[in-house]
Copies of this chain bind each other. A is one copy, B any other.
């Protein structure tokens, strides 16, 4: 059994595996070291500290986004596919999602999605300031959506009824709308919800686009 020589990459992937298996709370230097069959302090030869390790996790997850961008496609389709790509990794690493969105990364991994998005929006004819605004808007929507989707499953148990275990848990007098719409609030088709949001944003942007074109 040739134990290959421990590297930052091996440590990061071990951390990712551990997070996905047992949640972010289970991560500790000792735990990761044990997972790798290695002394705790050996980790510090490849990673300056735990925080940097977690940044590495976020980077690694983010860099697995598969952008299959077709420059010839309609810009709306390109936006759609990029939004979906972003969301797809969140589903591949659900327990890591919180980590990814809660750390702003200055590395290449964090910049590439922005680069792609800016490129397609510029090619669609938006000027710089507008393109930046659009990207920020889309990222806000995507991050917020992913947080909701993931926050629903902190234990990863398929709890569909969320905070509304029963309709009687919420007082209809205080919260008439919430209690009336409890069934709708309890069940959430995340896919449909996400697609709806993306379409609505794209449509809104298209309108704004046409309006600017018209004022030329």
Q: Which residues of A contact B (CB under 8 A)?
A: 98, 101-106, 108, 110-112, 114-115, 118-119, 122, 128-129, 131-133, 136-137, 139-145, 147-148, 151-152, 162-164, 169-170, 174-178, 180-181, 184-185, 188, 193, 196-197, 200-201, 203-205, 207-208
Contacts and interface: CB of A to CB of B under 8 A. Distances in A.
A84 B200 CA distance: 21
A76 to B, nearest CB: 14
B196 A200 contact: no
B132 A139 contact: no
A177 B111 CA distance: 10
A193 B201 CA distance: 15
B133 A140 contact: no
Contact of A108 (B106, B110, B174, B208): B174
Contacts of A180: 128
22 contacts: A98-B102, A102-B147, A102-B151, A106-B162, A111-B163, A111-B170, A118-B181, A122-B177, A133-B193, A136-B193, A136-B197, A140-B140, A141-B144, A142-B144, A143-B148, A144-B144, A144-B147, A147-B147, A200-B205, A203-B204, A203-B207, A204-B204
